[in-house]
């Protein structure tokens, strides 16, 4: 039996908040320790890799560790009509929780480094090659997550997903946000990891396009017939941790 929807939504909020706190906090720390942009990006990406791997391992058994509306929507789309996939009610709980968590994580990171709690980012990211980078980053993430599910290797998600995001920091022009909730959260911090509010909508649109491309690649590579993929990123409800208050 899986955890209740309310507890899963809380897990998504906490996990997304922690992820954004890692991303924004490590960005602030990196800029304070080095003026070299390459070193700053290296520190930011390494912290994100380690933090994301830990969070997927910890939260996965409760909610599946989406932390990402694009992944949640893709999971709903692939599982619709199966009877055991994510429902519209699940999506309606997960996505607001993820966005609220992302904003909270950015505010928390700002507070830890004595920055203004909310200061809109001035980091403009509104050029076409960055949007292409987001399409590529998100498509690759969706292909990885659902490919792992299709090949019954979801247990590898903590290492595989974290490793992919770390690599995509470097091989994509956008440094791989690949996550609408994280994109929104990062607008609340005028730091190395921030994104200007005017740049958010095009980034989110590119990420949703990337998610659709990723699902197309999953179908092309693994075929259209698929088992229910409700456990993305990590199968949930299969450990004692996930069951005590389930209903």
| Interval 3-32: pLDDT, tens | 899 999 999 999 999 999 999 999 999 999
- What local confidence, expressed as pLDDT, does residue 232 receive? 59
* Distance (Å, whole) CA 137 – CA 31: 24
In the chain, where the domains are located: 5-242
If residue 157 lies in a helix (H) or strand (E), which one and from where to where? helix 157-171
User: Residues 63, 147, 214, 204: what is their CA dihedral angle, to the nearest 10 degrees?
Assistant: 20
Give pLDDT, residue 2: 77
Secondary structure (3-state) at 158: helix
On the 0-12 / 13-18 / 19+ scale of CB atoms within 10 A, 153 is exposed
Q: What pLDDT sits at residue 233?
A: 65
Q: Which residues of 18-57 are buried (b: 16+ CB within 10 A; e: fewer)?
A: bbbbbbbbbbbbbbeeeeeeeebbebbbebbbebbbebbe
∠119-208-219 over CA atoms, to 5°? Answer: 150
User: pLDDT tens digit string along 21-69?
Assistant: 999 999 999 999 999 999 999 999 999 999 999 999 999 999 999 999 9
Model confidence over 89-112: pLDDT tens digits?
Answer: 999 999 999 999 999 999 999 999
Return the CATH fold of 5-242: Glycerol uptake facilitator protein (1.20.1080)
> Of 55, 17, 14, 22, which Cα lies nearest the Cα of 169?
22
Q: Is the dihedral of CA 27, 29, 34, 35 positive or negative?
A: positive
Q: Sign of dihedral through CA atoms 73, 141, 212, 220?
A: negative
Higher pLDDT, 247 or 182: 182
Which residue do the tokens 């309310």 mark? Answer: 6
pLDDT at 227: 46
* Residue 137 CA from chain centroid, whole number: 11
Residues above pLDDT 70, as percent of the chain: 89
């Amino acid at each position: 039996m899986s955890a209740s929807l309310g507890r899963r939504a809380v897990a998504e909020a906490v996990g997304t908040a922690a992820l954004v706190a890692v991303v924004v906090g490590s960005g602030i720390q990196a800029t304070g320790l080095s003026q070299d942009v390459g070193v700053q990006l290296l520190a930011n990406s390494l912290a994100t890799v380690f933090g994301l791997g830990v969070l997927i391992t910890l939260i996965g058994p409760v909610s599946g560790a989406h932390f990402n509306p694009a992944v949640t929507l893709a999971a709903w789309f692939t599982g619709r009509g199966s009877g055991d996939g994510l429902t519209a009610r699940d999506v309606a709980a997960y996505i607001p929780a993820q966005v609220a968590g992302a904003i909270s994580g950015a505010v928390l990171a700002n507070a830890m480094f004595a920055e203004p709690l909310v200061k809109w980012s001035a980091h403009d990211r509104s050029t076409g090659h960055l949007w292409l980078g987001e399409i590529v980053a998100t498509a690759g993430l969706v292909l990885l997550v659902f490919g792992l599910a299709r090949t019954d290797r979801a247990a590898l998600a903590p290492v595989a997903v974290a490793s992919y995001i770390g690599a995509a920091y470097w091989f994509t022009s956008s440094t791989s946000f690949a996550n609408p909730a994280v994109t929104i959260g990062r607008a609340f911090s005028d730091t190395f990891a921030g994104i200007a509010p005017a740049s958010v909508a095009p980034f989110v649109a590119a990420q949703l396009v990337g998610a659709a491309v990723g699902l197309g690649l999953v179908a092309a590579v693994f075929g259209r017939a698929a088992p229910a993929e409700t456990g993305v990123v990590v199968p949930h409800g299969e450990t004692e941790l996930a069951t005590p208050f389930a209903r």
